[in-house]
């Protein structure tokens, strides 16, 4: 678990009771859930043993952390103490990740020009000084380094690190020497398939009208990976491909991807910590938020660097993946960073209607249209941040049915902006 080392270091209380946190861990128990095994550990809090999942998996009905603690102790005091201890245990690693990222970006501004890693403004008819590019590789390297300390070395996590490495190498090459769109898409399909096969899967989706939509009804038995849910595989692969490319297409203004990623990771982290009782997933979210927040210091308009596809696709992959890690909390993820997803869908439909390839570049994304109407890059980034914070923050307090309504409202809002801009032409 991500917080074992940190929580175990919490000092014993003065009354000589066992310290709050993961201090007494018995051997893991294997329990099946929807045909997939999960590990459980027994945590000792005082004289009460409490079960805690060792691997984040889906549960049909999750009991929030505070409610579980109240049930175990019969008081709110212990739950609050445990929550406070957990939050304090997160502050140091998240701060370290932030500071390391800031230092790494600062070094990149000096090193990239020496190595000739600069962008190509002449390709887009721009007349400005060349900037360090693609600095998104810095975010990837910091995440991989932090992953060795924050992630357990299980099959799922190793699959994620392999996928991130493959995607980043491909994106870095594409940033320097553009690759065919068909080859990029093929590599992305391979990458998200690796993630699915190694255990990052969605088994059910919450139905806004009640109940669950089961994605594990049809199983494909394999000798290497065991039974694989076919519908889950289709949905997971489509979802991750959408988030990867939507964030990439949204990277038309410096700072925009880092801002939307920061908000998305924060909202998913708060959901994991306070509603799902998953401090390990929350720490991963907050660490990624720290990486994105450090990037804003350097690429908020006017930017000093450009992340490129390397950074935008990495953030897109991790945002989509955390929706899977949350046991299929796709609705919350959609509201947290729905603007680029909805914008991508409108652009794809418009290009197909015009007889063009949806993967061909163009100036028809939301930020391009607002720039053409005279908006400044800073105003566009602030608009994006305001909408994402409103809908993402609201998702923390909404039921599934209410999230569905909010999702429709977000689609209508983004669609109305598109329609308004096109009607002014």
Query: Higher-confidence residue: 87 or 137?
Result: 137
Same domain flag for 166 and 124: yes
Give yes or no: residues 61 and 113 share one domain: no
Note whether 146 and 289 are same-domain residues.
Answer: yes
259 pLDDT band (50/70/90 cuts)?
A: very high
Do 184 and 172 meet the contact criterion of CB atoms below 8 Å apart? no
Structure tokens at 87: 């939050």
317 in Cβ contact with 167 (< 8 Å): yes
More confident residue, 411 or 358: 411
Q: What is the pLDDT of residues 320-344, one digit of tens each?
A: 999 887 555 788 899 998 999 999 9
Q: Same structural domain for residues 292 and 240?
A: yes
In the prediction, which pLDDT does 240 show? 95
The domain boundary residue, chosen from 77, 100, 132: 77
**Domain end marker among 42, 77, 112:** 77
pTM score of the predicted model: 0.81
The string of pLDDT tens digits covering residues 302-319 is 889 999 999 999 999 999
Query: Do 116 and 9 belong to one domain?
Result: no
Question: What's the pLDDT at 202?
Answer: 84
Residue after which a domain boundary falls, among 40, 56, 77:
77
Helix (H, G, I), strand (E, B) or coil at 407: helix
What string of DSSP letters covers 85-144? HHHHHHHHHHHHHHHHHHHHHHHHHHHHHHHT-B--GGGGT--S---B--THHHHHHHHH
Considering the domain architecture, whether residues 71 and 193 belong to the same structural domain is answered as no
Show the domain range for 345.
86-423
pLDDT tens for each residue of 45-90: 333 343 444 434 334 444 554 454 444 444 455 667 778 888 888 9
Domain count, the chain: 2
Sign of CA dihedral 193, 197, 201, 204: positive
Are residues 14 and 150 located together in one domain of the fold? no
User: CA nearest 119: which of 349, 310, 368?
Assistant: 310
Evaluate whether 309 touches 378 at the Cβ level (below 8 Å).
no
Same-domain check for residues 146 and 250 = yes
Q: Are residues 219 and 202 in the same domain?
A: yes
What confidence tens digit (pLDDT) does each residue in 146-200 have?
998 888 888 889 999 999 999 999 999 999 999 998 999 999 999 999 999 998 8
Whether residues 31 and 107 share a domain: the answer is no
Do 332 and 399 belong together in one domain? Answer: yes
Same domain, 28 and 133: no
C-alpha 215/C-alpha 203 separation (Å) is 5
pLDDT at residue 277, rounded to an integer: 83
Q: What is the model's pLDDT at position 212?
A: 81
């Amino acid at each position: 678990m991500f917080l074992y080392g940190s929580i175990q270091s919490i000092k014993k209380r003065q009354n000589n009771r066992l310290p709050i946190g993961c201090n007494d861990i018995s051997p893991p128990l294997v329990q099946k859930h929807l045909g997939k095994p999960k590990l459980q550990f027994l945590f000792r809090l005082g004289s009460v043993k409490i079960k805690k999942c060792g691997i984040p998996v889906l549960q049909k009905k999750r009991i929030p952390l505070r409610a579980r603690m109240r049930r175990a102790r019969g008081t709110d005091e212990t739950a609050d103490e445990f929550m406070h201890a957990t939050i304090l245990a997160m502050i140091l690693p998240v701060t370290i990740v932030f500071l390391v990222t800031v230092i790494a970006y600062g070094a990149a501004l000096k090193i990239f020009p020496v190595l000739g890693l600069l962008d190509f403004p002449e390709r887009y008819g721009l007349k400005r000084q060349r900037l360090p590019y693609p600095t998104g590789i810095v975010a990837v390297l910091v995440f991989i380094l932090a992953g060795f300390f924050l992630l357990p070395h299980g099959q799922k996590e190793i699959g994620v690190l392999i996928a991130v490495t493959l995607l980043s190498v491909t994106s870095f090459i594409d940033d320097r020497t553009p690759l065919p769109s068909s080859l990029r898409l093929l590599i992305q399909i391979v990458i998200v398939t690796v993630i699915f096969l190694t255990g990052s899967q969605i088994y059910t989706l919450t139905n806004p009208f009640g109940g669950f939509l089961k994605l594990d009804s049809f199983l494909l038995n394999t000798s290497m990976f065991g039974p694989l849910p076919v519908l889950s595989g289709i949905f997971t692969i489509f979802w991750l491909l959408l988030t990867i490319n939507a964030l990439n297409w949204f990277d038309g203004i410096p700072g925009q991807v880092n801002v939307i990623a920061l908000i998305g990771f924060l909202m998913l982290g708060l959901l994991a910590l306070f509603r799902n009782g998953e401090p390990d997933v929350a720490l991963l979210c907050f660490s990624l938020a720290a990486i994105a927040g450090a990037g804003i210091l350097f690429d908020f308009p006017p930017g000093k660097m450009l992340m490129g596809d390397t950074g935008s696709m990495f953030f897109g992959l991790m945002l989509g993946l955390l929706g899977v890690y949350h046991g299929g909390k796709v609705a919350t993820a959609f509201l947290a960073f729905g603007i680029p997803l909805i914008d991508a869908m409108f652009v794809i439909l418009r290009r197909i209607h015009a007889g063009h390839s949806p993967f061909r570049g163009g100036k028809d994304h939301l930020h391009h249209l607002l720039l053409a109407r005279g908006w400044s890059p800073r105003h566009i980034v602030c608009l994006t941040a305001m909408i994402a914070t409103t809908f993402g923050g609201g998702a923390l307090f909404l039921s599934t049915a209410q999230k569905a309504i909010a999702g429709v409202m977000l689609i209508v809002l983004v669609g109305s902006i598109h329609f308004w801009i096109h009607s002014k032409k």
